[in-house]
Amino acid sequence: MNVLVWRSLIRSPHRCMCTVTGSSSQVCHPLNYLDGQRVDPKCTQTFDLREPATGKSLRFVASSNEEDVDMAVRSARREFKAWKKFSGFERGNVLKKAANIIRMRSEELARTEVLDTGKPIYEARMDIAGCADTVDYYGGMAAGISGEFLQLSNGNFNYTMREPLGVVGGIGAWNYPFQMATWKSSPALACGNTFVFKPSPFTPLTAVMLGEIYKEAGLPDGCYNVIQGEGETGALLGNHPDVNKMTFTGSVPTGTKVMEACAKGIKHVGLELGGKSPCIIFNDSNLDNAVSGAMMANFFTQGQVCSNGTRVFVQNSIMGPFIAKIVERTKNMKIGNPNHEDTKVGATISEEQAMKVLAYVDIAKKEGASVLCGGERVVPEASLSGGYYMSPCILVNCEDHMTVVKDEIFGSVMSVLGFDTEQEVISRANDTEFGLAAGVFTNDLKRAHRVASELEAGSLYVNNYNVYPVGVPFGGYKKSGLGRENGPEALDLFTQVKSVYVEMGDVEAPF
């Protein structure tokens, strides 16, 4: 999320009064997108799409089978021949137009994202605005994608070209559906690849809208396709012999399967996986900022954020005041209908996920942690009784060996841990198989940089947390993933280098 975007959204007085419900076209129309059209897949097997806010079924969605996946990949392969010949400038123009259309349709996109995810509307607006910026950013970068020139002896020379990989397959998780579709497709398309995306079965709606937006912006039909489905559809895509790269966001176990499929086919692979990140608060930090940061590290999107700093390490000398402030502010967060302007906590994605989170709170209590607030199912109003609402939870008396401190929960459960020294907290913060993100709050400039350089994570925050300005690379160390999204690095990962040696003299052969 871009903080500047956030501020401008908060100040913006003009908003269309658009509503998106279960009977809206975004939900009722076909949800596969092939050759520039919404289409129904061949498969008759379906899955139930439920609205997290109410728990009610929105519709049944057909799960794409082998034939559907193959049609999408063939369409992307066919169009690749033409799209790769567009200049970077031309491709960039399409993306920049798409970014503007996203901005024009932002309220509709945000409302659809709320319907799909259950996240509060204020957050969905921030997400969509950030996605428009990302598509714009790669639109601007496209014209500059180029190789290098190397002068050699005797007038000979070599040049390199950055060429697209071919057909890129994308698979997404459910917490940031439109963001995953845009963060993956826009750099892929900017580089001249074509794209087939499988969204999470929990959140199929906005990826199809992105297809329509790209088409309106001038993207040739077949360059961006969507296949809906569950794990089997994802496996079909990852194993398809004509896919050149997979870019995946999801859990470590599924990421391992995607990587295995790519290993079999010697395909490029990018993995954005889970985390259990530390947020470290030293006693010299501004306490109000540190409390705000710890809340931002835990409570966006009902805690279902991969980069969350769920292990909050607080220097023991400020533990009392820190706890008093954070508990007070957390209790004040409004839990409610995600479409309401003042809601700060919406619905968990599914009943299964909510039960999993509540079970972790129980395990924490059994292992000796104490609940200071939250960790309970909530019914904000009678009409939402089927939804999956939970109060954000703060746990104290936590220890490093506890299940709740080790596992990625993917819910609003903050574990507060005390520490005394810098060296101690660095070693404890790094004692995890994950390495997605980490935060440090301190007013000591040298310590901030010293600790940031010691922490084993791909995204570091000093005196803030979970901010994602456009252009800043994002990705994990250790089991949190491979590769980077959202920055210039992504362009390297969606291209391959062709090296061309040019002889200007005669060939001197030894035989």
Whose Cβ is closer to ligand NAD: residue 92's or residue 250's? 250
Amino acid of residue 204 = P
- Residue in the structure block whose two tokens are 């999320």: 1
Closest residue to ligand NAD in the complex (CB): 234
Place of tokens 């009784």: 385
**C-beta of 353: minimal distance to ligand NAD in Å?**
8
For the bound state, the minimum distance from the C-beta of residue 439 to ligand NAD, rounded and expressed in Å, comes to 16
Smallest distance from ligand NAD to CB 487, Å = 13
Considering the complex, what minimum distance in angstroms separates the CB of residue 270 from ligand NAD?
10
* Residue 501 CB burial class (10 angstroms; 0-12, 13-18, ≥19): exposed
Please, which residue, 43 or 291, has the CB nearer to ligand NAD?
43
Residue 426 vs residues 393, 447, 454: alpha-carbon distances, Å: 25, 11, 7
CB of 149 to ligand NAD, least distance (A): 36
Could you give the C-alpha distances from 19 to 26, 109, 110, 178, 360, in angstroms and in order? 11, 10, 10, 18, 35
Token code pair at residue 45: 């097997």
Task: For residues 399 and 93, give the distance between their C-alpha atoms in angstroms, rounded to a whole number.
Answer: 53
The answer to whether 305 touches 295, Cβ cutoff 8 Å, is: no
Nearest approach, Cβ of 305 to ligand NAD (angstroms)? 7
Compare residues 274 and 380 and give the one whose CB is closer to ligand NAD. Answer: 274
- In the bound complex, what is the minimum distance in angstroms from residue 450's beta carbon to ligand NAD? 26
- Pick between residue 187 and residue 192 the one whose CB is nearest to ligand NAD: 187
Task: Give the nearer residue to ligand NAD in terms of CB position, either 194 or 249.
Answer: 249
HEC readout, 227-290: CCCCHHHHHHHHHCCCCCEEEEECCHHHHHHHHHHHHHHCCEEEEECCCCCEEEECCCCCHHHH
Closest CA to 301 of 113, 471, 501: 113
Give whole-number Cα distances, 218 to 31, 213, 340, in Å: 21, 9, 35
Rounded to the nearest 10 degrees, the angle between the axes of helix 106-117 and helix 177-190 is 130
Q: Is 162 helix (H, G, I), strand (E, B) or coil?
A: strand
**Bridge partner list, 345:** 335
Q: What are phi and psi of 23, to 5 degrees?
A: -95, 5
Rounded Cα gap, residues 208 and 26, in angstroms: 8
Contacts with ligand NAD by CB under 6 A lie at 171-175, 198, 200-201, 230-231, 234-235, 238, 249-251, 254, 257-258, 272-275, 306, 408, 410, 436, 476, 481
Instruction: Compare residues 282 and 468 and give the one whose CB is closer to ligand NAD.
Output: 468
Distance in angstroms (rounded) separating the CA atoms of residues 126 and 8: 10
Between 215 and 479, CB nearer to ligand NAD: 479
Task: Please compute Rg for the chain using Cα positions.
Answer: 24
Is 328 annotated as catalytic?
A: no
Of 314 and 493, CB closest to ligand NAD:
493
Q: Please, what is the minimum distance in Å from the beta carbon of residue 218 to ligand NAD?
A: 29
51, 79, 123, 272: which one is catalytic?
272
Report phi then psi at 57, rounded to 5: -75, 130
Give the angle 386-390-394 at the CA atoms, nearest 5°: 170
Active site residues: 272
